[in-house]
């Protein structure tokens, strides 16, 4: 069955998002696009698992297992495959390229961009801060503590909207460790963050803003939208299936960005800001534009080129924390966001 593409958000949905700090939208991503992501990830797992078998660290590649269980079987014997996936090994076999084409197709999926445009405006930047999360049952790394995404971003973007689109590749239920959000918690400032386990930033309970904890199950094809100040976390996966999910981020091109674009007159930033970005370590890309369509990034190869030419900028050591990022490095373990 093909989902009916959503043509952006209604006025009511937009106000609900701004009021609550989050919104669930069903049937945004067409199933065949999610199937394509699962297929490409499976090909990567085939390769990584075969390497582990050859190194005698794994007894089998477990190729007969379904996508929702295979990594659990592998991880029971060796953590190396899942660790490489968490750390962004998905594209090692493309000569350092970074993005699976199927993932890029989701990043540029028109119905998803329609939703993002409803909130961020028509000149849209896709951030490279996209994450693929294989949340294996009872595996510690998938448990993400309370945080606001702005805890990771530069303070000058605190009051701007950087939209997180969290989308599962499988139905995400409470047992599988779907998202929890603090409804209304986005209304104030970015609160202090410290370091939790697995290098994720964490808001201590006493620093959590006022709000109502809401568990947010979402069906495959749906998206959970959050602001960058919305406190959120995810609970343990106590089911017997892997909660595969991705989180993507969008913002307006008028905000600080390192995307290689010609800024429009109305987008000029104060001196010294360009090419400052809300998250300088990773590359931004123009993903939709009516005013400079020739600069839009349209293929995974172009996206990879922007990413590989990007010179990671330093981040403000806002919480007195050690940097997660190494100059010249790529995504590193623990880049929780
Ligand atoms: O997927 C998760 O469990 C956590 C996701 C998250 O924290 C995020 O998207 O910012």
pLDDT, tens digit (0-9, with 9 covering 90-100), for 133-174:
999 998 878 889 999 999 999 999 999 999 999 999 999 999
CATH number at residue 168: 2.60.120.620
- What is the Cα–Cα distance from 96 to 330, expressed in whole angstroms? 10
pLDDT value at position 335? 43
Question: Average pLDDT, stretch 299-324?
Answer: 81
DSSP letters spanning 279-309: STTS-EEEEE-SS-GGG---SHHHHHHHHHH
Q: Are residues 89 and 105 in the same domain?
A: no
Q: Does pLDDT of 321 surpass 80?
A: no
Question: Out of 66-80, 89-103, 293-307, which region has the weakest mean confidence (pLDDT)?
Answer: 89-103
Q: Are residues 81 and 208 in the same domain?
A: no
- What is the Cα–Cα distance from 133 to 23, expressed in whole angstroms? 20
Q: Are residues 146 and 242 in the same domain?
A: yes
Q: Are residues 82 and 135 in the same domain?
A: no
pLDDT value at position 90? 59
Q: Report yes or no on 114 lying in a domain.
A: yes
Q: How confident is the model at residue 327 (pLDDT cuts 50, 70, 90)?
A: very low
Q: How confident is the model at residue 314 (pLDDT cuts 50, 70, 90)?
A: confident
Sequence-distant (≥ 6) Cβ neighbours of residue 294 within 8 angstroms: none
Q: Are residues 22 and 147 in the same domain?
A: yes
Q: Report yes or no on 21 lying in a domain.
A: yes
- What is the Cα–Cα distance from 215 to 213, expressed in whole angstroms? 7
pLDDT, tens digit (0-9, with 9 covering 90-100), for 23-61:
999 999 999 999 999 999 999 999 999 999 999 999 999
Q: Does pLDDT of 122 surpass 60?
A: yes
Total domain count, the chain: 2
Q: Which residue has the higher pLDDT, 334 or 317?
A: 317
Query: pLDDT over 90 for what percent of the chain?
Result: 72
Q: Report yes or no on 271 lying in a domain.
A: no
Q: Report yes or no on 288 lying in a domain.
A: yes
Q: Are 137 and 54 in contact (CB under 8 A)?
A: no
Q: How far is the CA of 182 from the centre of ligand 1 (A)?
A: 13
Q: How confident is the model at residue 271 (pLDDT cuts 50, 70, 90)?
A: confident
DSSP letters spanning 119-147: HH-SSEEEES--EEEEE-TT-GGG-EEEE
Q: Report yes or no on 190 lying in a domain.
A: yes
Q: Are residues 182 and 288 in the same domain?
A: yes
Mean model confidence pLDDT for the chain: 89
Q: How far is the CA of 176 from the centre of ligand 1 (A)?
A: 13
Residues with CB under 6 A from ligand 1: 133, 144, 149, 164, 166, 232, 234, 245, 247, 337
Q: Are residues 221 and 77 in the same domain?
A: no
Q: Are residues 168 and 300 in the same domain?
A: yes
- Asked whether the bond before 275 is cis by omega within 30 degrees of 0, the reply is yes
Q: Are residues 108 and 216 in the same domain?
A: yes
- This prediction has a pTM of 0.92
Q: Are residues 70 and 21 in the same domain?
A: no
Q: Are 119 and 13 in contact (CB under 8 A)?
A: no
Residue nearest to atom 3 of ligand 1 (CA): 234
pLDDT value at position 89? 57
Q: How confident is the model at residue 322 (pLDDT cuts 50, 70, 90)?
A: low
Coil/strand/helix, residue 163: strand
Q: Which of 24, 166, 225 to mutate to test the pocket of ligand 1 (most atoms within 8 A of CB)?
A: 166
82 is in which domain, residue-wise? 37-94
Q: Are residues 304 and 185 in the same domain?
A: yes
Reference 14, options 250, 253, 227, 287; nearest CA is: 227
- What is the Cα–Cα distance from 292 to 150, expressed in whole angstroms? 28
Question: Out of 127-131, 176-180, 188-192, 309-313, which region has the weakest mean confidence (pLDDT)?
Answer: 127-131
Q: Are 220 and 214 in contact (CB under 8 A)?
A: no
Q: Report yes or no on 329 lying in a domain.
A: no
List, in sequence order, every beta strand (DSSP E) within the chain: 22-25, 124-127, 131-135, 144-147, 162-168, 179-183, 194-195, 201-202, 212-216, 223-226, 232-234, 243-252, 284-288
Q: How far is the CA of 285 from the centre of ligand 1 (A)?
A: 21
Q: How confident is the model at residue 235 (pLDDT cuts 50, 70, 90)?
A: confident
């Amino acid at each position: 069955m093909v989902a009916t593409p959503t043509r952006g958000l209604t006025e009511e949905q937009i106000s609900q998002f701004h009021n609550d700090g989050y919104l669930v939208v069903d049937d945004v991503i067409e199933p065949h696009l999610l199937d394509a992501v699962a297929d490409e990830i499976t090909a990567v797992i085939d390769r990584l698992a075969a390497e582990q078998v050859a190194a005698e660290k794994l007894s089998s590649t477990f190729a007969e297992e379904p996508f929702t269980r295979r990594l659990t079987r592998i991880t029971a014997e060796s953590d190396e495959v899942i660790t490489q996936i968490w750390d962004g090994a998905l594209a090692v076999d493309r000569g350092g390229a970074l993005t699976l084409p199927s993932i890029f197709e989701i990043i540029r999926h028109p119905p998803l961009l329609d939703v993002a445009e409803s909130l961020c405006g028509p000149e849209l930047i896709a951030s490279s801060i996209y994450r693929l999360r294989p949340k294996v049952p009872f595996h510690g790394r998938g448990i993400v503590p309370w945080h606001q995404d702005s805890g990771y971003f530069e303070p000058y973007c605190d009051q701007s909207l950087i939209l997180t689109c969290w989308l599962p590749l499988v139905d995400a239920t409470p047992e599988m460790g779907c998202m929890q959000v603090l409804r209304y918690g986005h209304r104030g400032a970015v609160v202090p963050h410290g370091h939790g386990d697995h290098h994720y930033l964490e808001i201590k309970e006493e620093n959590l803003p006022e709000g109502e904890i809401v568990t947010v199950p979402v069906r495959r094809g749906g998206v959970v939208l959050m602001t960058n100040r919305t406190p959120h976390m995810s609970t343990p996966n106590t089911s017997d299936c892997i909660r595969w999910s991705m989180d993507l981020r969008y913002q307006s091109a008028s905000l600080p960005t390192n995307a290689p674009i010609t800024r429009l007159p109305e987008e000029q930033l104060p001196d010294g800001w360009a090419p400052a970005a809300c998250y300088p370590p990773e590359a931004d890309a123009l993903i939709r534009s009516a005013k400079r369509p020739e600069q839009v990034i349209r293929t995974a190869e172009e996206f990879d080129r922007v990413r590989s030419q990007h010179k990671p900028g330093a981040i403000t050591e806002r919480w007195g924390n050690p940097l997660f990022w190494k100059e010249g490095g790529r995504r590193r373990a623990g880049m929780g966001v």
